[in-house]
């Protein structure tokens, strides 16, 4: 029997697989047994009610998808009164994702949704910081640290910082979140991208730029997970382009403790369960008793250095 | 481990046939599980289209149910070849299997006391309403269908609609009979003949506007099946929204789960 | 007749298509008529002679390729004495690409290769700055500006700054290069990425991390070209994932004046010529008399804003 | 516009046949242009492999020429199905076309006065040397080939080599005849019988080491065909390097253009 459990700070997950925020919903319970997931991460909410971005909201590429959804949000009251009770019927821990326009509002919203039933809060800091020229919080180490600190002092729940990949050196942001008190990092959100229809000459998204997700992003995000795993002590949740158990294992070897699945659930709703099954198979085949032993278990390259070659 | 049954499922459905109907349209018949056969009129499936010469599309493609044949255990689709996905669909042959996800969405809502249903559609839009014709007929309602097309060779589903007992009227661009004023006059006359108590439309913005007007004028409910590009097709990704007008405000709704069939009164034109 | 000429500062190119540095060589003259290209950009050289990175140097994905080549370099003497004379037989302008470990060395190398036959110098600043913790020059606006300034004062040739996509806000770097005196920007180099073989648990590249190139990178780099085009006045050369005329046009609509093709030339050696032909076809079909009119010609999105919808 | 002729070209070559040789190997025969037929022994082509169920590989795959049949105008390949690319190749059928790029690389170099060529290879390695057997024979040299394999059913090219006049000797793991000491003794005996003046090998690091030793001992040139993962296959990308020892230093060389055939004395083992 393979032990699939992993530990994200104080939270024990039955297995390392969970949905990425915004790619999961109550509806999935009509399709599969959500109790088999490691955690349930809900769509980001904001304190205010929002409609989200104008369509078109999606453009498709060969191996990735470009989205401009924005954050359609029904606000914290709906979350606490409708969603939290709904998810109480399931066993995996519920992780709420929140976003806000200012550091203070992140703290306030974290406090408002810290209700029984919510087991951790993920901070979606990839949104614009209205007090700082609208640059994303997650592109700015100072703002990242402040947001996490504000949330940590507003709630006793674990706080996960979801970083953006649209940065230079991601370890700077990872460390800022750790210093701010984050219990875990989610690495990472979608990559800022765009596309133009050459016949109409219009952008293919209503808001011109959007977030790129899906398999093609994996090599870049994997590199970021690897870098972060060498920069911080807190657990890392890999997120970007996972669609098979092999992808999840790659993330774990690079340093992730758990893994989120996004776009792949849209291509096949059962992806997450297939990944869980595949993890078990891999562990059995490779005689891995505890999946947590895969975290950061990459070994060095089999290099043919010229220097070494000399001695052959 | 658990005997839970899920209303929506992903399954590999064997292809019974997949024949070209004309130069642009194909008629696909799949062997369907009981779950698939539970599809109601206006619902759709999300299809993983096979690739053609390596251009296998990443996203699934939404496709309305054209017919559920519960006797043979089939679900049928009528589709137009437009891009990579539908080109891939067109390569399917008897013996292949297609990965289908569904049934999905909120279909047409017909009150039990409905007596006369009018369907008005253009092009492949009629595919979406064909199951409504069949079920309305089965429920004892009269069904009249106005089919609008460029010219007679692009007429869709006429025979099938007749076979389920609908009275069909074709209108064409070629002889200007598809003109809105003419269609309006036809509907008005039909309504005079036997009051219409459900208007349903699909596939044309101009027909939608007409149905909206006439619905308001005669005080009868109108429903429209809308399309939008989709990601998840079950309401999770919020990419399939269109703008609607409610009593209080203008708001986005998800075509995949709040629709694809909507009350015409709340639709906006664009 | 479509006018395919474009202007990069003082340099007129017969058409906007050229190879990306490191994806072209003398060998291509054995395969196609290189005189039909807009410019000839050679592999980056350094002042010293280098062997490059240990193998494995390549890993393949569905829609992108990961490379760890390093900069195998035969140095400036070989460049000036062998390559420059070789390329003199061809009509398109020769663009030399250089790299160095310090700001000063960039200037010195630029001076050494400013010989007749070289028409512009591309600064590959994606390499580590040895005087600044080994972070890439191109991740640091100050270093970027200094490198370009050092080169500009060492040579009278046009200097192109090739930016890295591994940054947060690329416009900061674009402006730094412009302030430093760059005559054009190349946007952008490869994306830092990695991959792990889950069976051996080893990295798939000898140097663990490498550069991701190919079609999958296009939406991200296109977004960067668009951002840069709104931030600087100098011409932009788009580079990333171009394999068809449609891709090149997308870059031009986003703001590029010319376009570099890399990986796609490996998949089909004739790609660049196919792109040139395709540009001509597009212009004919769309009644574009001068291809330069496509630059930055993207029009606004056909938005269905909720506010607007109200007035319908 | 110009009448330039390029020595290397990309062309669509019609498939004449593509038959399984055993459980792992296929023999592909293509109709070849004059340019393709100019391939010399040890050269290779870079093949765009078709996709199987949407997994069409992005990069091309290098494949040695197994035979140039100038009478029929064919170029032939012998390949082992290992991954996505070769799985795709295996789906090719008569009537299909394959996008081939080449001929590429620096092949075997045989001095005109060569009288006795010894080929020693394992598995599909012999595919690469088959053309050398044919051309050495045509140039009047005697050709002896030692084929190493797991067991008789995995023996490759034996008949073909015989047909071009080579004397073949098979050695197997199954009966331990492929043991290096045994192979060494065989080569020593062959050399005693008629001096070998060219040793060529491919496909096994242990055979390479043996050829290297014997070449040094007998003072005869040895050549080896090496493999490495490739990008461009024409020397531009520098991804296909291996480490070599020259008089002065250890250096990387590109397998695609400085090889794939190298002097064994400069090779390193790894
Ligand atoms: C609920 C619903 C029911 C539908 N029923 C039918 C039907 O019965 N018969 C039929 O022929 N067509 C129907 N369509 C339209 C059908 O989904 C598109 O024609 C199809 O997705 C085109 O895919 P493609 O790859 O061939 O074209 P491409 O244009 O290459 O598609 C590119 C992308 O745009 C999306 N897309 C393009 N057109 C549409 C569209 N009209 N609606 C939604 N997404 C689109 C595709 O799904 C894909 O993601 C329906 C659409 C919806 C939303
Ligand atoms: C010059 C040369 C000549 C060759 N001649 C032959 C031949 O005649 N017959 C034959 O069966 N094989 C030959 N090979 C090996 C052949 O190229 C590989 O078996 C093939 O590329 C595997 O591709 P794949 O997609 O099936 O396997 P995968 O393992 O899925 O390939 C993944 C990637 O690794 C590369 N790769 C894997 N193995 C090799 C290898 N051994 N050499 C180079 N690249 C590799 C592939 O090209 C691809 O990019 C030759 C290789 C070289 C370099
Ligand atoms: C439709 C969609 C909506 C998303 N919404 C959110 C969101 O609300 N909050 C958030 O933090 N991430 C959001 N994301 C990002 C995902 O959680 C995830 O980071 C991203 O999709 C990358 O993973 P993937 O490649 O597996 O899809 C969204 C992604 C998609 C595709
Ligand atoms: C094999 C290889 C070698 C490269 N070498 C260099 C180099 O020496 N200098 C440089 O500036 N860019 C180098 N690049 C980056 C390319 O010029 C280009 O920026 C990148 O490949 C993105 O374009 P593409 O997606 O069209 O390949 C190299 C790319 C590849 C694939
Ligand atoms: S398609 Fe995902 S919400 Fe409708
Ligand atoms: S494969 Fe590109 S240099 Fe050899």
What's the pLDDT tens digit per position in D88-141? 999 999 999 999 999 999 999 999 999 999 999 988 888 888 999 999 999 999
CA dihedral (A71, A74, A80, A86) positive or negative: negative
In this predicted structure, the answer to whether residue D205 has a pLDDT above a threshold of 90 is no
- Cβ-Cβ contacts under 8 Å, D236 against chain C: 22-25, 27-28, 43, 265-266
DSSP string of B254-269?
Answer: ETTTT-BEEEGGGB--
Would you say B56 and B99 are in contact if contact means Cβ atoms under 8 Å apart?
Answer: no
Backbone angles phi, psi at C81, to 5 degrees: -90, -25
What are the residues facing D30 on neighbouring strands? D15, D75
Provide long-range contacts, Cβ within 8 A and 24+ apart, for A268-272. Answer: A268/B10, A268/B48, A268/B99, A268/B101, A269/A28, A269/A31, A269/A32, A269/B8, A269/B10, A269/B101, A269/B232, A269/B234, A270/A31, A270/A32, A270/B10, A271/A243, A272/A17, A272/A18, A272/A19, A272/A32, A272/A37
More confident residue, D170 or C309: D170
> Around B243, how many Cα atoms within 13 Å sit in the side-chain half-sphere?
20
Would you say C22 and C69 are in contact if contact means Cβ atoms under 8 Å apart?
Answer: yes
Residue C276 Cβ inside 6 Å of ligand 4? The answer reads no
CA distance B20 to D161: 52
Say whether B9 sits in a helix, a strand or coil.
strand
Query: From the candidates C127, C228, C239, C283, which is the catalytic residue?
Result: C127
Kindly give the pairing relationship between strand A184-187 and strand A159-163: parallel
Output the CA angle C294-C298-C304, nearest 5 degrees.
160
CA of residue B242 to ligand 5 center, whole Å: 11
User: Alpha carbon A185 to chain centroid distance?
Assistant: 8
Would you say D243 and A306 are in contact if contact means Cβ atoms under 8 Å apart?
Answer: yes
CA of residue D88 to ligand 2 center, whole Å: 13
pLDDT digits (tens, 9 = 90+) for D229-251: 999 999 999 999 999 988 788 89
Residues D7-28, mean pLDDT to the nearest whole number: 94
Of all ligands present, the nearest one to the C-alpha of C57 is 4
Taking chain C, what is the end-to-end CA distance rounded to the nearest angstrom? 44
Dihedral, CA atoms, A132, A136, A140, A141, nearest 10 degrees?
120
User: Hunting for tokens 């097709």 — which residue is that?
Assistant: B233
Of all ligands present, the nearest one to the C-alpha of A64 is 3
CA of residue B255 to ligand 5 center, whole Å: 7
Output the CA angle A102-A104-A107, nearest 5 degrees.
115
In this predicted structure, the answer to whether residue C254 has a pLDDT above a threshold of 50 is yes
Backbone angles phi, psi at D225, to 5 degrees: -95, 120
Tens of each residue's pLDDT in chain A, 312 residues:
899 999 999 999 999 999 999 999 999 999 999 999 999 999 999 999 999 999 999 999 999 999 999 999 999 999 999 999 999 999 999 999 999 999 999 999 999 999 999 999 999 998 776 676 667 999 999 999 999 999 999 999 999 999 999 999 999 999 999 999 999 999 999 999 999 999 999 999 999 999 999 999 999 999 999 999 999 999 999 999 999 999 999 999 999 999 999 999 999 999 999 999 999 999 999 999 999 999 999 998 876 555 554 433
Residues C285-302, mean pLDDT to the nearest whole number: 95
Predicted confidence at residue B81, as pLDDT, reads 94
CA distance D264 to C303: 66
Q: Tell me what the pLDDT averaged over chain B comes to.
A: 91
Residue of B80, B91, B69, B106 whose CA lies nearest to B24: B80
Residue D233 Cβ inside 6 Å of ligand 6? The answer reads yes
Residue D235 Cβ inside 6 Å of ligand 6? The answer reads yes
Residues C238-248, mean pLDDT to the nearest whole number: 98
CA distance B43 to B256: 9
pLDDT digits (tens, 9 = 90+) for D45-77: 999 999 876 667 999 999 999 999 999 999 999
Predicted confidence at residue B270, as pLDDT, reads 45
CB–CB contact C206 A301 (8 Å): yes
CA–CA distances in Å: residue C94 to residues C19, C34, C122, C158 = 11, 11, 10, 12
Q: Is B82 on the interface with A (CB under 8 A)?
A: no
Residue D232 Cβ inside 6 Å of ligand 6? The answer reads yes
In this predicted structure, the answer to whether residue C310 has a pLDDT above a threshold of 80 is no
CA distance A172 to A144: 10
Residue D242 Cβ inside 6 Å of ligand 2? The answer reads no
Residue B141 Cβ inside 6 Å of ligand 5? The answer reads no
List of residues 6+ apart from A219 with CB closer than 8 A: C61, C64, C66, C193, C194, C195, C212
Predicted confidence at residue A309, as pLDDT, reads 47
CA of residue B146 to ligand 1 center, whole Å: 23
Which two three-digit tokens encode residue A274? 């297939």
CB–CB contact A306 D269 (8 Å): no
CB–CB contact C216 A61 (8 Å): yes
Query: Which chain D residue lies closest to C19 (C-alpha atoms)?
Result: D236
Query: Which chain D residue lies closest to B51 (C-alpha atoms)?
Result: D54
Predicted confidence at residue C56, as pLDDT, reads 93
> Which atom number of ligand 4 is nearest to the Cα of residue C58?
1
Say whether B221 sits in a helix, a strand or coil.
coil
User: Hunting for tokens 């004739």 — which residue is that?
Assistant: C270
Residue of B4, C58, B109, A137 whose CA lies nearest to D59: C58
How many C-beta atoms surround the C-beta of residue D265 within 10 A?
A: 14
Q: How long, in residues, is chain B?
A: 270
Would you say A106 and A97 are in contact if contact means Cβ atoms under 8 Å apart?
Answer: no
CA dihedral (B96, B102, B105, B106) positive or negative: positive
- Cβ-Cβ contacts under 8 Å, A312 against chain D: 268-270
- Cβ-Cβ contacts under 8 Å, A67 against chain B: 231, 237, 239
Please state at what angle helix C245-254 crosses helix C218-229, rounded to 10 degrees.
30
- Cβ-Cβ contacts under 8 Å, B242 against chain C: 304
Q: Is D74 on the interface with C (CB under 8 A)?
A: no
CB–CB contact C57 D10 (8 Å): no
pLDDT digits (tens, 9 = 90+) for C77-124: 999 999 999 999 999 999 999 999 999 999 999 999 999 999 999 999
Could you say which DSSP state residue A82 is in? I
Would you say B106 and B82 are in contact if contact means Cβ atoms under 8 Å apart?
Answer: no
Q: Is the pTM of this model over 0.90?
A: yes
CA of residue C212 to ligand 4 center, whole Å: 9
0.90 surpassed by complex ipTM: yes
- Cβ-Cβ contacts under 8 Å, A64 against chain B: 58
Residues C267-284, mean pLDDT to the nearest whole number: 98
How many C-beta atoms surround the C-beta of residue B92 within 10 A?
A: 19
CB–CB contact D250 A309 (8 Å): yes
Query: Which chain D residue lies closest to B55 (C-alpha atoms)?
Result: D54
In this predicted structure, the answer to whether residue D86 has a pLDDT above a threshold of 90 is yes
């Amino acid at each position: 029997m393979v032990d699939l459990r992993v530990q994200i700070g104080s939270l024990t997950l039955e297995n390392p697989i969970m949905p990425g925020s915004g790619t999961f919903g109550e509806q999935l319970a009509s399709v599969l047994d959500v109790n088999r997931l490691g955690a349930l991460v809900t769509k980001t909410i904001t304190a205010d009610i929002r409609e989200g971005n104008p369509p078109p909201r999606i453009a498709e590429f060969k191996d990735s998808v470009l989205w401009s959804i924005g954050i359609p949000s029904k606000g914290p009251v709906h979350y606490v009164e409708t969603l939290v009770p709904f998810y109480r019927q399931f066993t995996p821990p519920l992780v709420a994702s929140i976003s806000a326009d200012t550091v203070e509002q992140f703290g306030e919203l974290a406090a408002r949704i810290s209700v029984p039933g919510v087991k951790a809060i993920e901070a979606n800091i990839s949104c614009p910081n209205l007090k700082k020229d609208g640059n994303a919080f997650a592109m700015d180490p100072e703002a990242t640290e402040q947001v996490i600190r504000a949330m940590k002092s507003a709630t006793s729940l674990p706080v996960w910082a979801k970083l953006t990949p649209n940065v230079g050196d991601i370890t700077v942001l990872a460390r800022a979140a750790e210093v701010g008190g984050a219990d875990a990092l989610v690495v990472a959100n979608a990559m800022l991208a765009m596309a133009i229809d050459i016949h109409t000459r219009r952008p293919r998204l209503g808001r011109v730029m959007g977030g790129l997700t899906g398999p093609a992003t994996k090599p870049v995000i994997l590199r970021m997970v690897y870098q972060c795993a060498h920069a911080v002590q807190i657990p890392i949740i890999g997120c970007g382009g996972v669609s098979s158990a092999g992808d999840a294992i790659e993330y774990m070897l690079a340093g992730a403790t758990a893994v989120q699945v996004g776009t792949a659930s849209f291509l096949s709703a059962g992806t997450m369960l297939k990944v869980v099954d595949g993890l078990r198979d891999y562990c059995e085949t490779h005689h891995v008793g505890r999946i947590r032993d895969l975290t950061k278990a990459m070994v060095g390259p089999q290099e043919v250095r010229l220097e070494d070659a000399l001695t052959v | 481990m658990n005997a839970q049954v899920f209303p929506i499922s992903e399954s590999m459905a064997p292809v019974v046939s997949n024949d070209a109907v004309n130069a642009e349209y194909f008629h696909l018949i799949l062997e369907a599980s009981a779950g698939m056969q539970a599809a109601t009129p206006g619902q759709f499936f999300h299809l993983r289209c096979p690739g053609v010469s390596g251009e296998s599309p990443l996203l699934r493609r939404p496709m309305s149910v054209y017919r559920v044949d519960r006797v043979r255990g089939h679900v049928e689709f009528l589709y137009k070849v437009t891009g990579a996905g539908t080109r891939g669909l067109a390569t399917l042959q008897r013996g292949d299997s297609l990965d289908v996800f569904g049934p999905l969405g909120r279909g047409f809502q017909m009150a039990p006391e409905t007596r006369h249903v009018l369907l008005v559609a253009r092009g492949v839009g009629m595919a979406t309403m064909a199951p409504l014709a069949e079920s309305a007929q089965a429920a004892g309602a009269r069904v009249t269908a106005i089919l609008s097309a460029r010219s007679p060779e692009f007429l869709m589903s006429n025979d099938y609609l007749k076979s389920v007992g609908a009275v069909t009227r074709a209108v064409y661009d070629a002889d200007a009979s598809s003109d809105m004023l003419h269609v309006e006059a036809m509907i008005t006359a039909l309504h005079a003949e036997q009051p219409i108590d459900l208007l349903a439309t699909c596939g044309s913005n101009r027909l939608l506007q007409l149905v909206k007007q006439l619905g308001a004028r005669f005080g009868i409910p109108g429903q429209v099946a809308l399309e939008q590009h989709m990601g998840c097709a079950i309401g999770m990704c919020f990419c399939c929204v269109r703008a609607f007008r409610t009593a209080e405000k203008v708001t986005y709704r998800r075509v995949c789960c709040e629709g694809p069939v909507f009350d015409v009164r709340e639709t906006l034109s664009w």
